[in-house]
Amino acid sequence: MILHELMAFISVIILRGVTKVPSLRDSWSARLGNPLITGIMSRNRFQDIMRHLRFDDMFTRSERVQTDKFAAISDVWGSFVTNCITCYNPGRHITIDEQLFPSKTRCCFLQYIATKPDKFGIKFWVACDLKTKYICNVLPYLGKDPSRPSEERLSESVVMKLMEPFMDKGRTVTTDNFFSSLTLARRLLSRKTTILGTVNKIRREIPQSTRKMDRKEFTTQVFSTTGATLTVYAPKRKKTVYILSSMHSVVETEETIKRKPNTITQYNTTKCGVDVMDQMVREYSVRTGTRRWPVAVFYNMIDMAALNAHLLYQACTGVQERRVDFLVQLARELANSHVSEKKALKEQLRQQQPPTPGPGKRAKCQINHCCKSNRATVRCVHCHKYTCGKCRREIPWQCQVCHESQ
């Protein structure tokens, strides 16, 4: 398989995500099929490529999997992440959260999260730009990492890896209570990066005096330490919210009934980056059923790459185009080389055919303009298709002198 056929294969996957049909067979059917898909590639060829789709060298996989659980697709995935990092310069605010890509394939790092709409899937740690929802960096969760120091928390290791390409530039990272901690805030602050996020009240750095449940409604308590502030706010009588911030040296409350602190307001504004990105990806997802987890990761990679491509197109051209229209145009451009090559090969084979069928044989009419599969014995001099008498063009009678003068 050559490169332009692989691009056409990816374009068919994107088009199938845009136009959802019940089964693979329906994408090529006469009633439910998409004419763009049928013009790009046949169903048998698509299934053949999907059946033999691999992302690494299977002969060396057993050696590489000893140190890398993601070895079956790690090379392709690394190239994708590198392109995501180098192709866009994110703004000041970056949101970090988890994404669960729905899948029930058998692999050692399959996750079960009861609070997600799809309970089973492959977990990814994602860093998104808040304003555009561009995917800046992403890491798969592969279970326990033996290279991580025992004294370092998983949450701190994830945030530091995701933010490594964007450090030392005065950015702010927004996280939830799984990631936020005072140790992480100080590590990020040493790299000129601030943090804003909720904190679990069971953390060791949370003062014991803040853990009482009977707080007066709409009250705020602020604690300060070196490089960070802790805001304790009670939106209800028996509910308390803890916000850790290294970007606010002064905490102010609004002059409203709820008297919200500015840290709470800022967090509510910047917390939704990854969730909105996941919602946008699911709208036109290429995900289909598969028993191989590398293919499931490949589907998620195409979804993310298509979303990033749309955001980059809007940022570079200034044109606000609907995402579905962009995906259709993207699929057409990916398949353009393959369709042109296929047309040229078909034309070459057609020209190599004899001008007339063999003795005593007749071909089927390939025009079918005025007939219903009539038999033909002559080909057209321009398109080289077999043409019956009903589908041929009547030429006006000309004398030899007028024909030579033209």
pLDDT by residue for the chain (406 residues), tens only, comes to 689 999 999 999 999 999 888 889 999 998 888 899 999 999 999 999 999 999 998 899 989 988 889 999 999 999 999 999 999 999 999 999 999 999 999 888 999 999 888 899 999 999 999 999 999 999 999 988 888 888 889 999 999 999 999 999 999 999 999 999 999 999 999 999 999 999 988 888 888 877 776 778 888 888 988 889 999 998 888 888 999 999 988 888 888 888 999 999 999 999 999 999 999 999 999 999 899 999 999 999 999 999 999 999 999 999 999 999 999 999 999 999 988 988 888 878 777 776 666 666 778 888 888 888 888 878 787 777 888 888 888 777 777 777 666 6
Q: In the block, which residue shows the tokens 């993601």?
A: 70
Question: Which of residues 246, 276, 306 is at a domain's end?
Answer: 276
Instruction: Enumerate residues 6+ apart whose C-beta is below 8 A from 147.
Output: none
Q: Assess whether 239 and 385 both reside in one domain.
A: no
203 assigned to some structural domain: yes
Measure the CA–CA gap between 232 and 221, rounded to whole angstroms.
5
Residue 78 lies in a domain: no
**Last residue of one domain, picked from the residues 276, 295, 319:** 276
**Is 12 within the bounds of a domain?**
no
248 and 393 fall within a common domain = no
Q: Does 137 share its domain with 249?
A: yes
Q: Flag whether 156 is in a domain.
A: yes
State pTM to two decimals: 0.84
Write the DSSP symbol of residue 331.
Answer: H
| Residue 83 is assigned to a structural domain of this protein | no
d(CA 139, CA 124): 6
Give a yes or no: residue 338 inside a domain.
no
Q: What is the Cα–Cα distance from 46 to 264, expressed in whole angstroms?
A: 51
User: What is the residue range of 259's domain?
Assistant: 90-276
If you count them, how many residues does the chain have? 406
The structural domain count of the chain equals 2
Within a domain: residue 22? no
Shared-domain flag, residues 266 and 398: no
CA distance 14 to 287: 10
